[in-house]
Chains A and B, each alone.
Chain A
């Protein structure tokens, strides 16, 4: 086999692999919708660490959460049920909730207009299905108006914000954040 044949064969192989991937996604609309949703760039809130946390309320699976009325530091997550990072982050948040749930008020609020399958509209039922599927132990809420998302999102899913007792933001970031990093931020706010 000469170099020219190998080169042509290589290009053909790459094209076939890409074609198979493209066909697979086209024939799996749920996956395609997930990819399209994940590809959207989210406009970032101007809030950052050091800023006063804006007031919000959320009707969670553990009752009404009102930032103004809570006396504990707050761990807020803004998530999307279709977002793979958010789905995996549930395990990290469950672990943190088990460890710090008595000292910190945890609240996770939905922040997307799209449901878990990536194509249907977001809903209360979709958020509850997400909680059940990923065994979410912490309070979780559906926010149809996306008010909390508009106030707090940091440019991606999930957005995680930690607020101290004085209602000042001590940490705000987006993306899949490791357990150790979040533990360090929680320890700071508990000091």
Chain B
């Protein structure tokens, strides 16, 4: 999960215009929100991915990531329901996948996995566990 978020965020860094266009394509947020979101979202994803990967603050980060995937699923579902041909924008500018029901299902699955990780945290290899012992 961590590596997935890390890759998703890293592939978006430096491509704010493409991400802004993808977010605006959902017709959900005003331009004043889309612009700063397109700049900050990749960094947030990278940080969430990094912490999930090393197992630091897994409970908190896991719930945040689960909520994030839930929001993605809602946004994509709303585009599908409204018949808006939005670009997914999931993995940076080279990802030209269209927002569709399989993407909604995938995001819900990833959200559920993040929630499970948060619920069962810390894992055996997580840094959280080692810090507790120290």
Interface residues of A (CB under 8 A from B): 2-3, 6-7, 10, 13-14, 17-18, 21-22, 25, 31, 34-42, 44, 82-85, 88, 118, 154-157, 173-178
Contact = CB atoms under 8 A, between A and B. Distances in A.
Contacts of B34: 38-39
A132 B32 CA distance: 33
A41 B31 contact: yes
B31 A36 contact: yes
9 closest A-B pairs by CB: A39-B34, A38-B20, A39-B31, A38-B21, A175-B87, A34-B17, A176-B96, A84-B18, A39-B35
A13 B47 CA distance: 9
A175 B86 contact: yes
B21 A155 contact: no
Contacts, number: 106
A156 B16 contact: no
15 contacts: A3-B131, A14-B44, A22-B39, A31-B17, A38-B20, A38-B21, A39-B20, A39-B31, A40-B31, A42-B24, A44-B84, A82-B17, A88-B93, A156-B86, A175-B22
A157 B44 contact: no
Contacts of A176: 87, 96
Nearest to B37: A39
Interface centre among A44, A85, A173 (most CB of B within 10 A): A85
B24 A40 contact: yes
Contact of B43 (A6, A21, A82): A21
A187 B21 CA distance: 29
Given A21-B39, A41-B27, A82-B17, 9 more contacts: A10-B56, A13-B47, A17-B43, A39-B23, A39-B31, A41-B30, A83-B21, A154-B85, A175-B85
Interface of B: 15-18, 20-25, 27, 30-32, 34-36, 38-40, 43-44, 46-47, 51, 56-57, 84-87, 93, 96, 98, 131
Nearest to A174: B85
A10 B51 contact: yes
Nearest to B21: A38
A157 to B, nearest CB: 7
Given A34-B17, A38-B18, A175 B56 contact: no
A24 to B, nearest CB: 9
B27 A36 contact: no
B16 A35 contact: yes
Nearest to A88: B93
A2 B35 contact: no
Contacts of A39: 20-21, 23-24, 31-32, 34-35, 38
A84 B15 contact: yes
A83 to B, nearest CB: 6
B39 A84 contact: no
B17 A84 contact: yes
**Max chain A Cβ within 10 angstroms of own Cβ: one of B24, B44, B87, B93:** B24
B47 A157 contact: no
